[in-house]
Structure 1
């Protein structure tokens, strides 16, 4: 430690001692004797900024805010905001069902109904829960049966459509076109000739066509429909395997 540092330390200590001596002399002369602790039973009065209003706030009557409602300050034009009318649920107009059920696929993995829109002459394949396209979209496929399907509209009205292989010709029970059982179904036997040799007519067939030819044509239509249904079922199975 050099001499300069020693002098600085000595002067600092001497100044501290002088301050302490001055404080002792002031205390001996009575400085600070007028201050003391207040009794615990008395509380200092609260005034000025720290004053708290304990009275409940009373709102003025609603009539005094009429001007505020008539000229809102947060609207640029100072005009009341118009009250929007509640949006009413639109009533969906359901058109009458106008389709023909042309095929049904029932397998453990695939349930499909093939229908034709008679108005547009368009074919479409539907699964349960799918709506019809176009104007008949209000009808949703609700159930697929062996020879019929059931559609439902938003009013919970149901409509059952029977399976047909041609307009006006209902599929007989022996020609059930379901898959895969329909693939191995026995051929439909030709109808027996009526007594007396008088040929009968079938809706959709020429009246002069022999019964054997009509039966063969019906069998041919059924076989063609079965083949189309098997192809569609195979395509759906392949699509499901690709998705998995």
Structure 2
């Protein structure tokens, strides 16, 4: 090997060592925003002062729900008071959704009407009381009879109007 070739090999080896050490050092350094550590500390303080807006800020969303076909809030079903027509058979319903929060559980049913039927735990429908709501099933009770209903995947196409 001639001396220019040896020199070229030696320079390439030195360059490879320098580049690999630079890459290794860059990988070990934490990524800081422009401006260094002071700006990162300020950003964390800003986040800690965050608070949710008041419920009134969402009034338009509640009045005109985005995912409702007619952009009107659905009528909530209320427990029946006193005597009314009661059936010994659970109405033909399809459980299509469950909403579980820290203070309330609501099940959403498709009853072949234009709007979804919403029932919270303890509410009744045709004499059947929605006893429990779980993430994937609900249980109705009518006297001593009970009937479970599992959450089913929607198979029909949902088209926005």
Whether TM exceeds 0.5 here: the answer is no
Whose radius of gyration is greater, 1 or 2?
A: 1
TM-score normalised by L of structure 1: 0.27
Query: What's the TM-score once normalised by structure 2's chain length?
Result: 0.40
Higher strand share: 2
Larger RCO: Structure 1 or Structure 2 (Cα < 8 Å, ≥ 6 residues apart)? 2
**Higher normalized helix content (fraction of residues):** 1
